[in-house]
Amino acid sequence: METFVAALTIFVLALFVGFEVITKVPPLLHTPLMSGANAISGVTLVGTLITSGARLTTLTEILGFFAVAMATANVVGGFLVTHRMLGMFRRKQ
């Protein structure tokens, strides 16, 4: 129960932080924002590493491989695409 409450605390606080950070972004940057937030959600990769690195059954290995691959695509692709989008915003010359 203790871990549940601790996790709930973190969850609620993170919701508030998310709220505060997002309301300040101008519509100009909404697409890179969505892309950047999506890249961060790839943090699930960390969890997939723990599951698939423990060398357990074949089923787990197969699931683990796909989980790691998909999460890596999410992270790598997400940050690269956001970077590509952001690089294009220029000041008036």
Q: How far apart are CA 82 and CA 49, in angstroms?
A: 24
Residue 52 beta carbon to another protein: minimum distance, rounded to whole angstroms: 5
Report if residue 92 touches another protein, rule: CB under 8 A: yes
Residue 53 beta carbon to another protein: minimum distance, rounded to whole angstroms: 3
Residue 84 beta carbon to another protein: minimum distance, rounded to whole angstroms: 7
Residue 26 beta carbon to another protein: minimum distance, rounded to whole angstroms: 7
Contact criterion met (CB below 8 Å) for 71 and 44: yes
Q: Which of residues 63-82 bind another protein (CB under 8 A)?
A: 63-82
Ramachandran region of residue 79, left (φ > 0), alpha (ψ -120 to 50) or beta? alpha
3-state helix, strand, coil in the chain (%, to 5): 80, 0, 20
Q: Which of residues 12-31 bind another protein (CB under 8 A)?
A: 14-19, 21-31
Q: How far apart are CA 87 and CA 35, in angstroms?
A: 14
Q: Which of residues 41-60 bind another protein (CB under 8 A)?
A: 41-57, 59-60
Report if residue 91 touches another protein, rule: CB under 8 A: yes
